[in-house]
Homo-oligomer: A and B are copies of this chain.
Amino acid sequence: MQQEPGSGMREQALWMADRCLGRRIARLHRLVSRRFDAELRESGLTLPQFEVLSELALFDAPARPSEIAGWLGLERSTISRNLDVLTHRGYVRVAATSSTGRTTRVVVTEAGYHALAEAGPAWQRAQAWISGAVDADAVDALDRWLTALDLDQQRG
């Protein structure tokens, strides 16, 4: 610190780099995302599309696009485009529109449920690979993390 300003900087940089959570979570996401995409490719679904379809199926009622965006942590615009794709394929159906033609509520069609079911084996392979790598505690930790961050984000 006295004669070597670079030395202190370097120390701090290493400390940050070593414990950076963003780095680790991003790496986990890339590993998992690639695996899911590779497995799901044969079914024609990407992971984000699978996510949208899943959330919509879980909600089990006509949902507004902005709701879906909030659940998934995705941008509203991204949801809008993904819904376009899914609607075009017949997996999702517009349940209500405003007077100007904007879609206000969407639901999963029978074909959508069928696509999800058809992706089952591929999904299971990816899921088994990931869940088999660790114990159940890790999954619980992941869920706690998500709910905590969600609550925190809603407040601020």
Point out residues on A near B: beta carbons under 8 Å.
6, 8-10, 12-14, 16-36, 47-48, 50-51, 53-55, 57-58, 60, 72-74, 110, 113-114, 116-117, 119-120, 123-124, 126-127, 129-131, 133-134, 137-139, 141-146, 148-150, 152-153
Residues of B within 8 A of A60 (CB): 14
Known: A138-B144, A148-B133. Is A50-B74 also a contact (CB below 8 A)?
Answer: no
Is the Cβ of A26 less than 8 Å from the Cβ of B13? no
**Across the interface, do A58 and B117 meet the contact criterion of CB distance under 8 Å?**
no
Decide if B13 touches A126 in the complex (CB within 8 Å).
no
Question: Assuming A58-B14, A117-B9, A144-B138, is B31 touching A29 (CB within 8 A)?
Answer: no
> With A and B bound together, what is the CA distance between A28 and B152 in angstroms?
13
**Does A21 contact B131, Cβ atoms closer than 8 Å?**
yes
